[in-house]
Amino acid sequence: VRRRNAATLIPIIFRHVRFGSNVMKDEWRSYRRLQRFNRFRHRAVNHGLHFVDPTEPAVHTQTIENKNGQLKDMIRRRHGVVDQILPSLLKEFNWRERFGQRNMVFYNFWSQVAALYPCQR
């Protein structure tokens, strides 16, 4: 998103995060308003003190920050990306995450094509 303020992020979060989900977040200012809404179970880690909550190790943002780094690497390898193709790039990144493992990209691609477009007899 162009703006990362609460007014921009909260509607997007509401649209994409299921009611009642556990939300792991850092203490970034734009996320503070989320606590006003009783839609999620909020867990926060203070990155100024630690990256993983020492009292509850399951509370951290390491996984999403790692994925964000992988996406940025993919964009860097392409020497940047224009806004028009960013949605396609995100879809490709997600697809590769889900189906591109173990050197089976080609097989997984055709498996998905066959599932979406089954042969008619």
* Token representation of residue 51: 């990256």
Whole-number average pLDDT of the chain = 86
Which CA distances in Å does 62 have to 11, 26, 28, 30, 47? 24, 10, 15, 19, 11
The answer, yes or no, to whether residue 32 has pLDDT greater than 80, is no
**Which pLDDT tens digit goes with each residue over 43-96?**
888 888 888 888 888 888 888 889 999 999 989 998 888 889 989 999 988 888
Residues 96-112, mean pLDDT to the nearest whole number: 80
CB-based contacts of 5: which residues, under 8 Å, 6+ apart? 30
- Positive or negative, the CA dihedral 74, 82, 14, 31 is positive
Residue 78 sits at φ, ψ, to 5 deg, of -95, 5
Residue 18 pLDDT: 92
